[in-house]
Amino acid sequence: MRVLVTGAGGQVGTDTVMVCEAAGDHVAALDHASLDIGRRDQVLSAITSFRPDAVINCAAWTAVDACEADPDRALALNGLAVRNVAEACHRVGAHLVHLSTDYVFDGTLDRPYHEWDETNPMSVYGISKLIGESEALALGPDSAVVRTSWVSGAHGANMVKTVIALIDQHPQLAFVADQFGHPTFAADLAPMLRLVALDRRSGVHHITNQRPTSWFGFVQEVVAVLGRDPAMVVPIATADLQPPRPALRPPNSMLDNAVARMNGLPPMRDFAEPLAELVRRLTA
Ligand SMILES: NC(=O)c1ccc[n+]([C@@H]2O[C@H](COP(=O)([O-])OP(=O)(O)OC[C@H]3O[C@@H](n4cnc5c(N)ncnc54)[C@H](OP(=O)(O)O)[C@@H]3O)[C@@H](O)[C@H]2O)c1
């Protein structure tokens, strides 16, 4: 398969490029410096010259709190830019796999969200990502939107790296116990993105590692894997965060991988396994 990966220098993009290369794909790995998806001319030129079978769009402005202060930029990079990618895919018949987020939901449901649940983003980032979804899906059956959540990986900033950086500097770590989601690992997500591209699957897919927890619970597990006492992590409420975060987060971010399950795709692993692998890798 000929695959073009945008945002190839990011957390998910880096692992996606590695997985596709390991599978023998012919990969165009375009990081932000090589391709700005906000630039229609650049996008059309890159995609029509490489003529990929699939484009995996890992590029996004992921600074959730910063998006609140600059809605135009968020909408341009996470929304309108996806139109550029979709248009270029249409020109060459490439399948588009576009990454999206649990933040398209308001988090008030009392069960995990499946793919057909109503969206209602509570933040500028969430709104911009929902617009990106509709731009991608405008391609019809030649596009898939993959919503994922709480991503950690070897490349880029994430919660596992934050905990590793903080653990020796503080006797106690406080994390919110009233936001729930599915921690997901880029190394496990990347093969699923490739599979969606290879099969030319359509529509919205929730793809996460298995087993929900709170941020508090997740950090406790990270601390335990690091060989320290999970009791050093204390639970707090989102309302107690000082200073408060500019962007609202959904209290329930849990994504039911319903479409994958109904399609008979194998579920991703319990997050404990990739967590242990990542910690080993980051602390080796
Ligand atoms: N991280 C999570 O917890 C999470 C959760 C749910 C969904 N997602 C989604 O998963 C996808 C990948 O996220 P990630 O965790 O890999 O984020 P990331 O590490 O921030 O990667 C995003 C990449 O996109 C690049 N980028 C930003 N603006 C761009 C532009 N205009 N043109 C081209 N590239 C641009 C960034 O480059 P610079 O850094 O140089 O700007 C960065 O390398 C995103 O769609 C995100 O919304 C992430």
In a domain, 136, yes or no: yes
144 pLDDT higher than 90 = yes
Task: Give residue ranges with CB within 6 A of ligand 1.
Answer: 6-7, 9-13, 32, 35-38, 58-62, 77, 81, 99, 101, 129, 148-151, 156
In a domain, 119, yes or no: yes
In a domain, 246, yes or no: no
Could you tell me the residue range of the domain that residue 82 belongs to?
2-158+183-210+254-269
Structural domains in the chain (count):
1
- CA-based angle 3:14:212, to the nearest 5? 105
In a domain, 7, yes or no: yes
Whether the CB-CB separation of 48 and 91 falls below 8 Å is answered with: yes
In a domain, 237, yes or no: no
In a domain, 235, yes or no: no
Sign of CA dihedral 175, 177, 179, 183: positive
Say what the pLDDT of residue 57 is: 98
Q: 63 alpha carbon to ligand 1 midpoint, in Å?
A: 9
In a domain, 86, yes or no: yes
In a domain, 125, yes or no: yes
CA distances from 75 to 37, 43, 65, 139, 141 (A): 12, 17, 14, 19, 24
* Distance separating alpha carbons of residues 242 and 18, to the nearest angstrom: 38
Task: List, for residues 204-239, the tens digit of each pLDDT value.
Answer: 999 999 999 999 999 999 999 999 999 999 999 999
Say what the pLDDT of residue 266 is: 86
- CATH code where residue 263 lies: 3.40.50.720
175 pLDDT higher than 90 = yes
The arithmetic mean of pLDDT across residues 4-26, rounded, is 98
